[in-house]
Every structure is written in C-alpha cells, then in structure tokens.
Structure 1
Amino acid sequence: MSQVEEAWRNGDFVFVRQGLKALAEGEGGALAQYRYGRVLLEGTGGPRDPAAAMDWLEKAVTQNHAPASTLLARVLLSNKGEGNAERAANLLSSAAKRGDAEAQYYLGLLLMAGQGVAPDPKAAFDWFLAAGEAGNPAAQYELSKAYSRGVGTDKNPEEALRWLEEAASGGFPDAQYFLANALDTGGGVPMDKKAALDWFRRAAEAGQPQAQRELGTRYLVGQNGVEPNADEALRWLRAAADAGDRSAMHNLGIAYAGGELLPQDFGKSVQWFEEASYLGLGRSSLALGQLYAEGRGVEQNMEKAVGLFETAAQQGEMAGALAISQLAKSDGLGNFMAPQRAVSWVMVDLAETGDAAAEAWVRQQADAGVRIAQINLGEWYLAQEDRKPEGIALIRVAAMAGSVPAQFRLGSLHVTGDGVDLDYVAAHKWLNIAAASGHPEAAEKRGIVGDLMTPEQIARAQAEAREYFDTARSRAPQTEQTVRTPGSAPQVTQGATSGTEAD
C-alpha cells in the first residue's frame, strides 16, 4: 500500500490503479477494496467502471468499512433505482453510528427530506451536529440553516451565525456566499463591506455561481469596493452564466446592449437574453421582446416581440403584461395577438393600475361579444360595490352566450344573493347548465342547492335549463371565440355551440 500511496503523491494514477487492483484481489483488505472501487468509480488511471466499482465497494462493506458504506450509499442515491434510497439510508446509518462524519451529514439530509426514511428533522439536526462538531463544513452549513429557521431545533441567530462562519472558514462555497451577503447588508452581523468582498471572492473562486455573478456585476458597474473592469466583469459573469445562472446571463445581455463598459453588441445581447429567457427569466424575455420590437441585434419582428412579452408575463414579469396592454390600448397589437388572448394581460394592467384606457379597451371587447372580456371585466366590476350591477350584466351575457365559468359564477351568485336576487331556481338552473357542460364543481353545488328546494322548484329549474339548451344554437356566436380549459393553450372555434365549452 505504501508504494500505491507514493505513486498517488507523484501523480502516477495508472500505477495506483494497477496496484490497488492487485491488493484488492490478492490480500482482500477492506481499505484496498474501497480505494480500488473509488478509482473505478472516478475513472482514475483508466476508464470509469461503475458496475465493477459497486462490486468492490460491496466487498468492503461486508468487512464493515465505514467510508465504503458511505460512498456506496451515495452511488445508490445517484442512481435513483427502486429501493436504493432505503438501502442507502441503512448504509449511512451504519457508518454514521461508527463516527463517519460524511455519513452523518448525508444521513441528516435523508432524514430532513424523508428520503428512504421517515422525515425526522430533530434526528437530522442531531446528525448534522455530530458531523459539524467533527469538522464537516457541509454539515456546519446545514446547522446554520437549521438554527436560522428553527428546523429540528429552536431558532438561535447567534448559533446560526457561528456555524455559518465555521462552514465558510472550512471552505464551503454556499456558506461563504451567504456570509458575504450578511456582511454586505448587515443582516445579523455588523456591516463590513471589505470583509464581504473578500468572502464573495472566496466563494466565486470556489465556483459558487451567485458569488461569481455578484463579483462580475460589481466589476461591471464599479461599486462596493471595486473599480470598473471589463475583463474581470466578463470573467466572473461568464463563469456564472456557464454554470447556468440566469441573472448573470441577463446582466451580460444588459452590458452588451448598454455599451458602457463592454463594447455595444446587440447580437451578443440577444444571445444572452435568449439563454436566460429559455431558462425562464421573465425580465430577459421582456428585454429580448424589446430588441425584436426595435430591430436591434435581430430583424424587427413585432409578432415575435409580442410573443416574448407574453412569455415574460407568463414567467411572472408584470412588465410583459403591461407591454401587451400598452400595444392594445394604442391599437398596436394588429394581428399579432387576438383580442381574446390579450384580454387577460390587459386585465393585469387594469387590476394593477386602474387605468381608464385599459378598462375602455376591455369594455370594447366585451361589447363586441368576447366572452373572456365579459367575464374578466364582470368580475372586476363585482369587486366594486357601486359597480356590481354592471358586473352582473356582463356575467349574465357571457353565461347566455355559453361561457361555462360564467354560468357557474351566475349560479353561485344566485345562491348567496350577492348583487342579484337570492333565487334557488335560477341558481339550480345555471349550475345545472354548467354541470352539463363539464364544470368540475357545478354538480356538487347544484346538489347542495337542490336539498334546499321543493320538488316543484327543482322541476321548474330543470325546465328552464332544458329551454336554455333548446335555444342554444340560435345564440351561438358566428365569430371566432377563444376557448380555454384549465392548463391548456387557447384554441379557436368557429361558431361554437353554447353550453359546450369553457372560456
């Protein structure tokens, strides 16, 4: 074994692999089996061979080698096979009880997540504490989180900070990043911008993407202790972006578009916004839409721009909805988005700002027979005591035109008498119509209402529902209507028969 260890120190990994193979097959010692399994797993000194690695680790486990149990457990967890989590938990439990700090840490993670074992935050905390006291930085970081959140133990900000500092000093990158943040903002510690910058550097150099983005952004704008430096800004933002950090990608897009520190290059700006948009960052989708709208870095394409504004809105960026609303209010949507589809986004503008122009546009669509506009504007009016009659009128128009949500809503309003007469016959009628069209809650609610009615009232409500369906086709819209069902994309129908679709 001494020759193998010397070869390892000298970087002769081929000799290491050959030597460990001979020792594992010859002497059969647990240490040699464990180390040989490890080099096979990692591909040191030759090709990776995970299957053979697991065989050798299993041999070492039968000789009660704790590190082999821990490594085998980690391999099992990475494979996600049936029963692997339970076996891994057993292996880790065995090694943890014999003092293996790494096993204690991973067992704590399983207990915290309830993976392979029943969830037990208190037991998880105890194992983190054992591993943390043994010097495991990852466990120390988990202790910091546990004390900070009061999970598995009482909240204790002082202990949370102590263990965060221990983990950071032990080289754990996430701990270094969050300690830097705390020092930078004075969150629970005295503010120290210089120390914060040092910890951001340590975390960035250890490969922590958020720290790399923070450091790169500081070099980009020249703030908090650093001078603007294009090379350093690119170095760290690219590192974070390459690691998948969406905000770093966005910052690169902004930097190339602005052309202040970095040379202006709208083509590169488009590239980075596209990357971040693909990963779901709403503000990048919005910025990319603006570039398409203005024809910067790409050929001008308003249809693409509008689509990106909608993507941004779907990703939670309200400014995307506002951009669509602005186009709608200024008659700039053209054929790029159907009014039925734009209504929801203009309603975001109306709900957030109360803009009269947004209300006027939605009202125009409602008056033109767009059911989703009638429903949305109707609900908005219903929320205002002095405008409830307007809301009821719009909901009723949509219900008559075949909107299932409006039918259910109208029926529900008649149950409570909110803005309309308390009328069980009308309620039963509309809930019956909605149920017949597949509304998931209407049948149950209709049953509850029916229990409060006389047989004569139920018969009258049923007759009115039949009359509605008998005259449905004469009321069917002859223009395109957008049909939405929960979780689906919009579909367009021609002259849809009322009572059969949901807006």
Structure 2
Amino acid sequence: MRHLLRSILTLAALLGLPWVAAAQELHPAETVHQQANEAYRAGDFAAALASYNQSCDAGLGKSCFNVALIHSRGQGTAPDMVIAVRYWLKGCDAGYAPACGAASDAYSTANGITASQARALALAETACSGGFWPSCGKLGQIYADGLGVPAEPARAEYFFNLACNNGAGEVCEAFGSRKLAGYGLAKDASAAAAIFETGCAVGQQGACNLLAILYLNGTGVVVNPATAFSLANGSCNVSNAAGCNLVGSFYLDGKVVPQDQAKAASIFGTACEAGNREACENLGRQYLDGRGVSQNVSEARRLFGMACELGREPSCAAVQYIDNLAANEGGA
C-alpha cells in the first residue's frame, strides 16, 4: 500500500489533482509552479528545484511537496530524506494534504529518518481531514493493527469506509481483503464483496478481480460464473495482468466459457510478460503437458523459472523436478 500511496502523491503534485475538496482561488505563486513543472518534465531538475523552492517559499504547498519529492529521489541532487521530510512538513503546514500524507508515510517507514508512529498518526489525521483519502485508509490500517495505539476495529472500519466511499480504490481493495480474511477486522465475506464492488466501480482492477473470485466460488455472494468472467475480462481488457490470468483460467478449464486452450495460452503469455507469476506457472504447465501448445519441456522450465523468480514456490519445485528428470535421463 505504501508504493501505491507514493504514486498517488506524485500524481497529485505534478498533475495538480484536486485532493482538497474545498475550491481555492489561484495562488499568486501558481505561475512559478507551472514553470517548474515544465522544467521538471524537460528533465531540468536544477531549474525545477529552484522554481519549486521559490513558489514553496511563497506559501504554495504543492511546490513544497515537489521540492521534497526531488530530494527524496535524488534528481539533480544527492538523495536526502531529512530534507525531503522537512519540505513535506512545510507543504503540510501550508495546507497541502498530500504533503501531510507523504510525511506520515516517511515517519511510519523510517525511510532515512527516525521512525515515529505518533507523528505518523498525527500527520495522517491532518491529511485525512484535509481530504486526502488514502491517508484516511492509512488511519484504518493504524487502528486495525494497533500501530502505536490500541487496536480499535470499529474506528478502523470508519476510516476505511471514509476512504473507500470517497474513491480511494486501493483502500477499498485492502479493506475488502481484510474483511474477507478477518485480518484486524470482523470477518464478513458479504461485506467484503460489497467493498470490492465499490473499489471496482472506481477502476481498482484488483478489487474487480477479487470480486470475480467471490462470484466464481459463491463466497459472500450468490455464485455467478458469468459475472465472474465479465469482471475478470473487463480487468484484462485494461491490461490488468491478474485479470488476464483469471480469464486464461476460464478458457483453459471451459467451465464458464467454451474451452479454448490455445486462447488460454495466448492470454497467459500476455499476463506472464506483464509480470503475473501465476500466469507464467499456468503457461508452463500447458507447455509441460502439451495442452493448447506443442509440448516443450525447455519452454516449460523457462516459464516455471520466471514464476519462481517472482516468488511462486510451486514453480520452484517444478524447476527442480524438471532438472532432476533431466539429470536422471542423462545418467541412464
């Protein structure tokens, strides 16, 4: 979730996304900020940093955020998280909620600074109250897991709901997963399904995929394979690798759609190239067995190896199995 938060924070600052709900008049330093954006996009980080500093000093919080971002990445300067956090805090003081969220994230992860769960909590509260919904989700995590505070599941659910219902799709996915597993919150598959549906509706493809699995298995919802396929296919159509892996599985077994093992192999291949380890393993099995493709043990081993490197343990075992087989045949 931290990587997602950082990506959202970057977009907020560089693209000027309206995280703060209240309408604001154009800041006098906005022109300088836009000039800095142009320099940044052109790769002139020194010019960008100078202009961001100028508009930050004039009180434009999102410029302070970008000063911090450049220092955290070490773009045209040495990476320095201490300076980065200083400017995120300055942006937060100027009322830019994503800067509060970034500072909170830094204090929770101790990335180059001393960790402080108390400061992380206070900054997340400021960011959340300022309308930066991912930080409301972070408050949910803090209260669900008892990070520096007593665990309060009811309070956690309040913040998760606040973020999810305001369009923070990645929070919906995390929240629904917790409800499904009963991790830090009361286990409730029906509630999980509703949460995934909310996340899916705002384009969080991981939530769509998880909802598809629930419909396929009838977990928390009435079993509906057609809906499961529709959700996964929609996810795959926008290049979500996990969704494509699900679609490939549907075509491989033929229980939901007419069986087409060659099509399954093609879809698994696309998902595997995009880094989905399960798809690499599924395609490896097809090559090992010669289903929908010509049998090719070497290709199967290569695919299992890719899945293994991505952390898929059964594929690691498959690589070992193929290697042992080859060794035994060589010694015969």
Calculate the TM-score normalised by the size of structure 2.
0.72
Contact 2:72 2:79 in 1 (8 A): no
The partner residue of 1:172 within 152, 168, 182 is 168
The partner residue of 1:214 within 210, 216, 222 is 210
CA displacement 1:182-201 (0-9 Å, x = unmatched): 455666247362x5433212
Over 3 Å counting, the alpha-carbon distance change for 1:327 and 1:74 in structure 2 is: closer
1:154 correspondence with 2:131: no
Shift of 1:92: 1.5
The partner residue of 2:101 within 85, 102, 105 is 105
1:59 correspondence with 2:54: yes
Corresponding residue SS for 1:73: helix
AA aligned to 1:271 is S
Contact 2:124 2:136 in 1 (8 A): yes
Over 3 Å counting, the alpha-carbon distance change for 1:82 and 1:198 in structure 2 is: same
Corresponding residue SS for 1:170: coil
The partner residue of 1:73 within 61, 64, 68 is 68
Shift of 1:265: 2.6
1:291 correspondence with 2:280: no
CA displacement 1:299-341 (0-9 Å, x = unmatched): 222333355456656644337636965996xxxx3xxx22499
Over 3 Å counting, the alpha-carbon distance change for 1:56 and 1:215 in structure 2 is: same
Over 3 Å counting, the alpha-carbon distance change for 1:284 and 1:275 in structure 2 is: same
The partner residue of 2:188 within 176, 188, 191 is 191
Distance 1:273 1:130 in 2: 44
CA displacement 1:272-312 (0-9 Å, x = unmatched): 33345456655444432321133223222233335545665
Shift of 1:85: 3.0
Q: Residue 128 of structure 2 corresponds to which residue in structure 1?
A: 132
Trace 1:213-292 onto structure 2 (pairs within 5 A).
213-218=209-214, 224-225=221-222, 227-229=224-226, 232-238=230-236, 242-245=239-242, 248-277=243-272, 283-292=278-287
Corresponding residue SS for 2:27: helix
Trace 1:445-464 onto structure 2 (pairs within 5 A).
none
Shift of 1:211: 0.3
CA displacement 1:322-377 (0-9 Å, x = unmatched): 6965996xxxx3xxx22499xxxxxxxxxxxxxxxxxxxxxxx9xx9xxxxxxxxx
Contact 1:197 1:225 in 2 (8 A): no
1:204 correspondence with 2:200: yes
Equivalent residue pairs, number: 301
Over 3 Å counting, the alpha-carbon distance change for 1:119 and 1:160 in structure 2 is: same
Q: What stretches of structure 1 of length at least 5 have no aligned partner?
A: 1-29, 342-364, 369-503
Distance 1:74 1:323 in 2: 42
Distance 1:119 1:183 in 2: 28
Shift of 1:238: 0.5
Q: What stretches of structure 2 of length at least 5 have no aligned partner?
A: 1-25
Corresponding residue SS for 1:229: helix
Over 3 Å counting, the alpha-carbon distance change for 1:324 and 1:87 in structure 2 is: closer
The partner residue of 2:88 within 62, 79, 92 is 92
Contact 2:59 2:94 in 1 (8 A): no
Larger radius of gyration: 1
Contact 1:217 1:237 in 2 (8 A): no
Trace 1:306-317 onto structure 2 (pairs within 5 A).
306-309=301-304, 315-317=311-313
Q: Relative contact order: is structure 1 or structure 2 higher (C-alpha 8 Å, sep ≥ 6)?
A: 2
CA displacement 1:157-199 (0-9 Å, x = unmatched): 3322222222222322122223333455666247362x54332
AA aligned to 1:296 is R
Distance 2:57 2:284 in 1: 60
Distance 1:263 1:37 in 2: 55
Q: Residue 15 of structure 2 corresponds to which residue in structure 1?
A: none
Contact 1:286 1:320 in 2 (8 A): no
Displaced runs of 4 or more, over 6 A? none
Distance 2:275 2:234 in 1: 22
Contact 2:245 2:271 in 1 (8 A): yes
CA displacement 1:31-78 (0-9 Å, x = unmatched): 2433552486389xxx95464654432221232333321243234435
Shift of 1:221: 6.4
Corresponding residue SS for 2:167: coil
AA aligned to 1:232 is S
Distance 2:137 2:99 in 1: 15
CA displacement 1:387-424 (0-9 Å, x = unmatched): xxxxxxxxxxxxxxxxxxxxxxxxxxxxxxxxxxxxxx
1:144 correspondence with 2:144: no
Contact 2:165 2:198 in 1 (8 A): no
Shift of 1:107: 0.9
Over 3 Å counting, the alpha-carbon distance change for 1:339 and 1:35 in structure 2 is: farther
1:338 correspondence with 2:327: yes
AA aligned to 2:254 is G
Over 3 Å counting, the alpha-carbon distance change for 1:326 and 1:64 in structure 2 is: closer
Over 3 Å counting, the alpha-carbon distance change for 1:97 and 1:268 in structure 2 is: same
Distance 1:105 1:340 in 2: 59
CA displacement 1:2-25 (0-9 Å, x = unmatched): xxxxxxxxxxxxxxxxxxxxxxxx
